[in-house]
Chain A
């Protein structure tokens, strides 16, 4: 290790690594193809530990930004990183690396699915797989909920969003159109 790191994991005067669009493409190919069951773990592993393009803090900050913007957070992180280092070609290289291979893979899986879905053993296997996959999603939601403060107001918004879209099956655009402005206004007032 050549560069000593301070408490923030940022080297003193660490030179900005020279990263080309091709490098971005290869890094996000690596992240994407490693990402069985989710890519976030691999994004941090590749960008912070293996390639050292980002410090721990930079990674968390970019991820938080990616979270506010619409769309998948690692996808947005790739766009920001690619654009920062290699302009528009870098941004598009991250999309190609991140989405291109999985696109072909899931369609291959879809073809197998159509061919074999009628077999009882495949149907049973898929039922078990779905039951476990939805468990991962619930756990994800619960982990996210652990960041909410112990105050009734945010939980009320969580409950209303859940009930409106999940239980009553109302269209998202209406529910979000009502809840988002009130939620932002409430957070704005609480923060002042």
Chain B
């Protein structure tokens, strides 16, 4: 990866971060498309592993973005994708604090929230769809996924236990 690739990676992640309304998982499909499908910098397996590792690590789940940058181009890649992730929300949020904050329930703000929410939900499910297809190769994997979904929806168990249980099931040769 040369310098122009690094700049392209930075700019693409910067653009995605600026569009990440509803959370960074909504832009994950496009990150996948860009680094895996278009440029072949990492494999779909590495992408999915980065996501899983960032979920298990302490800290916000968005740290998978750092890990993807690191896999693509080492320390500079990690710094590039992390800074790209941080800049747009920082600018937008501070601008918002300075400009408005007076009337957050104005009709347009409400329309913005209500109009974008369904799109954000569809994009989150699209992220899940892409990951599910890249991580699971047979019914054992799908079974673990389905069990995890059911347990999260039905109980209040700490999600970390599910990640640990999935890991142990995998190591035991069940996946």
- Report which A residues bind B (CB closer than 8 A): 32-39, 61, 64-76, 79-80, 83-84, 88, 91, 95, 98-99, 101-103, 105-107, 109-110, 113, 117, 121, 124-145, 147-148, 154-162, 165-167, 169, 171-173, 176, 179-180, 183-188, 190-192
Can you name 23 A-B residue pairings with CB atoms under 8 Å? A37-B158, A99-B63, A113-B49, A124-B173, A126-B52, A127-B137, A127-B141, A130-B131, A131-B142, A132-B52, A132-B145, A132-B163, A134-B48, A136-B163, A137-B25, A137-B124, A139-B152, A145-B121, A159-B122, A172-B123, A183-B119, A187-B111, A191-B110
- A158 CA / B135 CA spacing, docked (Å): 24
In the assembled complex, the Cα of A36 lies from the Cα of B126 at a distance in Å of: 24
B118 interface neighbour in A66, A169, A183, Cβ under 8 Å: A183
Smallest distance from the beta carbon of B93 to chain A beta carbons, Å? 5
Shortest Cβ distance from residue B59 to the other chain A in the assembled complex, whole angstroms: 3
Contacts of A134 in B (CB 8 A): 48, 51-52, 128, 131-132, 135-136, 145, 148
Which B residues lie at the A interface, using CB under 8 A? Answer: 15-25, 27, 29-30, 33, 37, 48-64, 66-67, 70-71, 75, 78, 82, 85-86, 88-90, 92-94, 96-97, 104, 107-132, 135-137, 141-142, 144-149, 152-153, 158-160, 162-163, 165-171, 173-175
A83 to chain B, nearest CB (A): 5
Q: Are A124 and B147 in contact (CB under 8 A)?
A: no
Q: Report how far A84 CA is from B93 CA in the complex, Å.
A: 12
- How close is B139's CB to chain A, nearest CB, in angstroms? 11
Residues of A within 8 A of B24 (CB): 71-72
Residues of A within 8 Å of B135, CB to CB, are: 127, 130-131, 134
* CA A133 to CA B148, docked complex, whole Å: 8
A160: which B residues are within 8 A, CB to CB?
122
Tell me the nearest residue of chain B to A126, going by C-beta: B49
Closest to B170 in A: A128
A148 vs B114: C-alpha distance when bound (angstroms): 9
Please tell me if the beta carbons of B130 and A128 are within 8 angstroms of each other in the complex.
no
Q: Find chain B residues with CB under 8 A from A102 CB.
A: 57-60, 63, 66
In the assembled complex, the CB of B62 is this many whole angstroms from the nearest CB of chain A, namely 5
How many pairs of A and B residues are in contact by the CB < 8 Å rule?
Answer: 364
Do residues B55 and A127 form an inter-chain contact, with CB atoms below 8 A? no
Q: Which residues of chain B come closer than 8 Å to A107, judged between CB atoms?
A: 66-67, 70, 75, 78
* A124-B170 contact, Cβ under 8 Å, with A72-B60, A136-B55: yes
* Pairwise interchain contact B30-A188, C-beta atoms closer than 8 A: no
Known A109-B57, A127-B137; 19 more pairs at CB < 8 Å: A38-B55, A38-B159, A69-B93, A79-B89, A99-B63, A110-B70, A126-B170, A129-B163, A129-B170, A138-B128, A141-B125, A144-B121, A155-B118, A156-B118, A161-B123, A165-B123, A172-B16, A173-B19, A192-B107
